Amino acid sequence: MDDTHTEHAHAESGPAKAVSELSESMARTAESHRTLITEMTNFAKDEGLRFMNLRLERNGQALDKLQNCSGIPGLLGVQQEWLRDFVQDYMGHNMRIAGALRGLTQNAMACAHEQAAENIDHAQHAASSMAHQVNEQMSHTAQDVNSYTQQTQH
C-alpha cells in the first residue's frame, strides 16, 4: 500500500510540476509584456514632451522674429522659417519614434521567441513525463493482470 501511495504521489507531482513550471513561464511572459508596455508608454510620454518643448521654443523664437521683421517679405520669411522648422521637427520626431518602435519590436519578437521556446520545452517535458508515467502505470497494470491470471489458473 505504501508503494502504491508513493507511485500515486510521484504521478501527481510530475504533471503538477510541469503545469506549475508552464504557469510560471507564462507569468514571466506576462510580466515582460507589462514591462515592455510600460517602457513604450514612458518613451512616448518623454518623446511627446520633448517635441512639445521644442515646438514651444521654436514658437517663441518665431514670435521674437515677428516683432523685429519689416513688412510683408519679413513676415513671409518668418512664416516660412517656422514652417520649415515645424516640418523638420515633426519628421525628426517621427523618425525617433519609428526607430524606437523598430527596436522595441525586435526586442519583443526576440523575447516572445524565447518565451515560446521555453513554453514549448515545458509542454514537451510535461507530455514526456505524462507519457512515461502512463507507460509505467500500464506496465504495472499488465503485471498485475498477469499475476492475477496466473493465480486464477493455479
Ordered by start, the domain boundaries in the chain are 35-142
Residue 26 contacts residue 145 (beta carbons within 8 Å) = no
Closest among 12, 21, 15 to 119, alpha carbons compared: 21
- pTM summary value: 0.54
How many angstroms separate the first and last alpha carbons of the chain? Answer: 25
Question: Alpha-carbon distance 115 to 25, whole Å?
Answer: 7
**In angstroms, what CA-CA distances link 113 with 8, 18, 36, 106, 109?**
36, 20, 15, 10, 6
Look-up of cell digits 520649415 = 84
What sign has the CA pseudo-torsion 45, 47, 51, 54? positive
Residue type, 97: I
pLDDT at 133 (0 to 100): 78
Closest among 53, 59, 94, 54 to 79, alpha carbons compared: 59
Using pLDDT thresholds of 50, 70 and 90, give the confidence band for residue 14: low
Closest among 47, 43, 25 to 35, alpha carbons compared: 43
As a whole number, the mean pLDDT across the chain is 81
- Render pLDDT for 89-131 as a digit per residue (tens, 0 to 9): 999 999 988 888 887 777 777 777 777 777 677 677 777 777 7
